[in-house]
Structure 1
């Protein structure tokens, strides 16, 4: 069985254990599944389960294990250029935690991971932190950490400092140790690294010798990736020797393996989508059947009720339409005023005044929401309440009704009550008071519950570190940003899952990440629209001294990251 097959078997075996009640044991299950997904090149799934593991460890009160999982998340982030800064923040937090504990093994891990991030940008500083990691690891010796640090030091000397002889010193130390333990995966890694040193020394035959040794080993982790790398490296060395025939053969093998990896990933995605859509089709069929039966039953009993419902709906539509038209006219007037002001502004103050206009627009929108909520509650709500009272009086005056008529009155009373409650809910949904009274996190969670659609869209809210209330104006701004972004996802992304991460880092800044698994989009092609809009959100964040970034790939979802200092 291939390594990929074994990893799928691990995932399949562990999946039923996700119902464990013990939080720490469940955290371990999530961690093992994340590792298996990572080895199968499914970084998105790996990140999802590492995050679940971290949160479960925190719930279980095991902060040390939670921080260890955080390093795995940092590694995944570091493999993606757009998440490098996030990886640095995570590792810095881990080092602070390690210093607080005073444990050498934790400090060794922290310094090693930090040094890894600095290899390309600052090789000399990276070397210093690798040495510090070795010092701490020698005090609380861990063989795996020791081997990893030596490997990275070798890469640093060979690739960045152009000192292949110094690199060979560290690689050979590891080779002696891994041969004793018969760790085939590490032996293979060392052979490849040693071959790299001989390549830089222009000793191509020696490099080919070690690459062939690596290729002969029966490794069980990252098999396809490793084999692809070996054949690619062999083709480069043969080309350097002028043996183009062997160079081409190895390049062809490299391409074959890469195609195999891509096909397997595509097959996984297709299988997941097929299962998803088959499930959705069955759900839709069941719902359609239930609705059909319900309609047939209703037609026989509630002909009169339809009239009352239609009248209520018609009144609601008319009032909402009037309010919408009025709101649109006011927005149009504000837009015209903004355009007139922009023409009069000097080029040197354009940016400052543009940001001020955004604040005015947001304030106007908040006032309109409050006014609309009050109109719904005071006017339409009072009308429905009066209608309910009159209907109940009518029922009391009709004593001695037959059972069938009594049921009809009761059904009508229930529908009027339901319509009244819906109007109240609409009023409350538009009102920003929910933020002022309960805070940002409860407001976002309620919004997510209302926007989520059973079996079609799941919106998850994952807060971390938000223990105290923020400034009310900041909470309202963040809530409106989240609300606008989620609305855009519902309208355009065709996503089935949305994750909202709200994080407060040591009381110094707020990090907001909204990610979906939708169809993605081209940020450059986005046009301004009603509401806050992406461009206005970006400018608002900039005004607050923060940063705004969009990571989106066609058919692979979108991630929006907002960092705002407190």
Structure 2
């Protein structure tokens, strides 16, 4: 009976092993199919057959999901996002696919994948009228480019930021164009020429023709590995137009001639390339068909070989293999369940700890601010009012003595005493006004910042320039005071720590968004090397800006100064 039972058990395990082998073969077949649909979709997209491309990407994605191949799923999600985003006629929402790709990048903790996702989010939210959301994603991407292996991507991010600001914020656009061209070491010659041309177009639209010509001249002298004729045609055409605008018709004619020569050469070259590509495409298609046929034959041979090999080993490993699978799967299930419970508990504790830490940080920042304000008022009372009151006390004692002895003119002594009382009153009033930022309350944020800059510049140690745009109306008083304190503290940091000779404060209000850019030519610093709990008060400033629902970004390079950009929504 035992022998019969064992035979029955072996038969069952053999069947199980066959099923497992069949499953393995089916998995491999699905993987081939998924890759086939993916490549087919890429070809359809190249041929501008977007509906066919979309359908094949979806088929590939579904198969990769069944196989649980995360890298391939992420790759499909990004391709589908870019396809839908570029085509209005597909009538699909691309964002869920980008969200899935971003989630994958976060789980992988891969900086390059995260950079790609953030740039795509910035493109998705691109809106020249309301740039805030797109701009925030570009700033997040810039943070990632601080690592050496991703620094070259700063070029494209700054270039995109420049285009984002072109329509409504031309000054900021010019700032980012200059930032882009300041990264020449990170660019290829083709990229550098492209950026010179883009900047010249911006300057031409601003009617700054001579500056546009200067940028195009820089591009003209650069030698390129490829597309030289194409770029020459563009450069000569733009130069001709600019010279025409400024009335230099001789040079305009000269560059029109160069433009025509480059255009004719380019047309001949493109025609030859097109003929060569058609021939190449035909030969490639022929080879692909032969390779596909050969691959199918090899696949059939490989399938038969695998089946024979599987049958050879069935009798040897059936019992051991089946038992091990059952034990290992059971243990693995228990271990996964325990790990999931532990991870859930750890995550809950982390969230609670983070919330408490954030609450404590906010409270500490508020208390620290209050303590500083109390200390300042106490010093004002001691240094200014204390001496006046001491003098006033002496005068009252003199009045008392003089009433009896009449050594000094009584009326003169009364007048001096009254003057001291007036002075004490004015000092108390001035301290009260300082407490409520009197200049701001009376004349507004812009005047207060300008007065501060004038006072600092008058010492001839540092020149501070204030540039404003759109501040025709006053903001809410408490908001103006908070913003002034932030600017004041950042300016103090420049004076104390930057060793700068020049600084600028750019304040602009547009479309319910207050933009502040503070720059200096000082020694710069590394943001990640700062102790945020003391020093320059950066943590306190960030806390205040967060409370105002704004954003705070620092761009600093050692030896090249610093730029601090603040955006605050204004109701």
TM-score (norm 1): 0.39
The higher radius of gyration belongs to 2
TM-score (norm 2): 0.39
